[in-house]
Structure 1
């Protein structure tokens, strides 16, 4: 059930197949304070998903630096938000990144990530915070992930 809860969070309750990148400037400062230390620094990227993805994912995770569009092309996609050219390559989607943004391509990369990164061990210990950090890189959405896990447990009890 921890996998179900994590995927439910990452996909907005199974409503999205790709990362939601339309943030206000204030939210950008909260989510990425090292990249956007002020509202003025965040303003050009507010409600600008393509520019934001290139800014925050460019030059990392196997992506080329801007002006390359790799950050946008390899933005968070699929059930656990596969992000970056290197991770898309690992799941066989480098040449067809849009595949992860389809219902058919949504789950397999998430399952690959889950097993290849040792997430079962964290799930077995009921370590929601550890899973969240492993999947998201921080504690983003931790309360929601816990709520979704509790709901999944009730549904499958």
Structure 2
């Protein structure tokens, strides 16, 4: 994919900047065939709503909390105590996993999803920071992943680290979706992005 093709996919104020940073990141992590790139961009453009939302939106109603996070909100009564409070929601659903502390540590919200592929959890922030920068800069300042320079590179790092290039080579789009999302949420929208990308070829 070239810069012109990339900018034809998204209409955001800083599309050129995102494109400029994605191109070297794609090369570094060998997302370098039409198949790999189409699968990659279909996923990130869904996850980030066309790069318009590179920070996780956790402003859920009680009803949606029960639907999306039934493990953590087993009934509507519990969900009402958290509804439309993103910080409390993140601290509950991301507690005690991905090296986050408990619900009261604040880690869930601090290490909520950021960047085009929504890097989430202290363990992932630590790993990508050590890999790209050799230190804990992303742990100390998670908002760095909102910048195109680091968001693009982190997305490509995660994709490679998760083995998604091989899944793409094997044409396993559902498996890629599960690897990225943990399930098949938004699968039809991901397929729509895939079709749009393929139409550029």
1:52 maps to 89
Aligned-pair CA distance for 1:34: 1.3
Taking the TM superposition and a 5 Å limit, the aligned residue runs for 1:1-157 are 1-92=38-129, 93-154=138-199, 156-157=200-201
| SS of residue matched to 1:62 | coil
Aligned residues: 156
Give TM-score, length-normalised by structure 2: 0.74
Q: What runs of 5+ residues in structure 1 fail to find an aligned partner? A: none
Inter-partner Cα distance in structure 1 for 2:81 and 2:177: 29
Task: Provide the C-alpha distance between the structure 1 equivalents of 2:167 and 2:64, rounded to a whole number of angstroms.
Answer: 29
Shift of 1:13: 1.3
CA apart distance, 1:73: 0.5
> Which of the pair has more CA radius of gyration?
2
Q: Is the Cα–Cα contact under 8 Å of residues 8 and 148 in structure 1 kept in the other structure?
A: yes
Secondary structure of 2:149's counterpart equals: coil
TM-superposed CA distance for 1:63, in Å, is 0.5
CA–CA distance in 2 between the matches of 1:87 and 1:125? Answer: 26
2:192 alignment partner, SS class: helix
CA RMSD of aligned residues (A): 1.1
1:46 and 1:122 map into 2 onto residues whose CA distance is: 37
Please say which of residues 82-91 and 33-42 is displaced more in the overlay.
Answer: 33-42
Q: Secondary structure at the match of 1:86?
A: helix
Normalising by structure 1, we get a TM-score of 0.94
Which structure has the highest helix share of the two? 2
Q: Distance in 2 between matches of 1:152 and 1:39?
A: 40
